[in-house]
Amino acid sequence: MARPQSAPEFDKKKVVAENRRARFDYAIDQVFEAGIALQGTEVKSLRFGEGTIAESYAEVAGGEVWLINANIPEFSHGNRFNHEPRRPRKLLLNTREINKLHAAVARQGMTLVPLSVYFNGRGRAKVELALAKGKKAHDKRESIKERDWKRDKQRLMKERG
């Protein structure tokens, strides 16, 4: 199996939600930074550190990319204009990037997985979106072995030095 490429570093100032399980369940191919179209109370909830993307995914529909099943709870001080917690949210990408994602999902059987939701240096909410392929059970076992070996190696180095 090819060695996974390191994800590009984006300007993450405040990480709100992270999907740590995605790196274990999927072989990450490419990572994109996408803006997210939010309502006012959604932004306030995210700034308070609320929100989960553990069970969410993205899909390309009608030339647009949508974040499905992401949970941003209602804002506690919101009024009747509060948002729906699990509504589909539009992701903001260039047309060229959308076409690339659509082609990969349609032809190669790839999946769009959100890795994290964060605020960048300018205070904008962003989603780190990965183009990934699902791992088989034997690949998962291999990554567990590799992780355990790294841990044991660090322990041995600490004892020796």
Residue 50 included in any domain: yes
Q: Average per-residue pLDDT in the chain?
A: 88
How far is residue 79 CA from its own chain's centroid? Answer: 30
Answer whether residue 100 is part of any domain.
yes
- Residue 142 forms part of a structural domain: no
Instruction: Give the pLDDT score at 7.
Output: 59
Tokens 């009024």 belong to residue: 79
Q: pLDDT tens digits, residue range 99-116?
A: 999 999 998 888 999 999
Is 150 part of a structural domain of the chain? no
Residue 62 lies in a domain: yes
- Whether residue 152 lies inside any domain: the answer is no
Residue 2 has pLDDT above 60, yes or no: no
Q: Give the whole-angstrom CA distance, residue 151 versus residue 43.
A: 38
Strand partners, 117: 17, 127
Q: What is the pLDDT of residue 142?
A: 86
pLDDT value at position 109? 81
Can you read off the two tokens belonging to residue 91?
């992701």
Residue 137 has pLDDT above 60, yes or no: yes
Confirm whether 59 is domain-assigned.
Answer: yes
Rounded Cα gap, residues 112 and 29, in angstroms: 10
**What CATH number is given to the structural domain containing 117?**
2.40.280.10
Q: Tell me: pLDDT of 31 over 90.
A: yes
Average pLDDT over residues 3-21: 78
Q: Which of 100, 93, 94 is nearest to 131 (CA)?
A: 100
**Exposure on the CB side of residue 22, measured as CA atoms within 13 A:** 25
DSSP single-letter state for residue 9: P
Query: Using CA atoms, how far apart are residues 75 and 91, in angstroms rounded to an integer?
Result: 21
What is the span of the domain harbouring residue 111? 12-134
CB atoms within 10 A of CB 22: 20
What's the whole-number mean pLDDT along residues 132-149?
86
- Phi, psi (degrees; rounded to nearest 5) at 152: -65, -40
Inside any domain, residue 21: yes
Type and span of the H or E element at 160: helix 137-160
The whole model's pTM is what? Answer: 0.79
Structural domains of the chain, count: 1
Per residue in 73-97, pLDDT (tens digit) is: 888 877 777 888 889 999 999 999 9
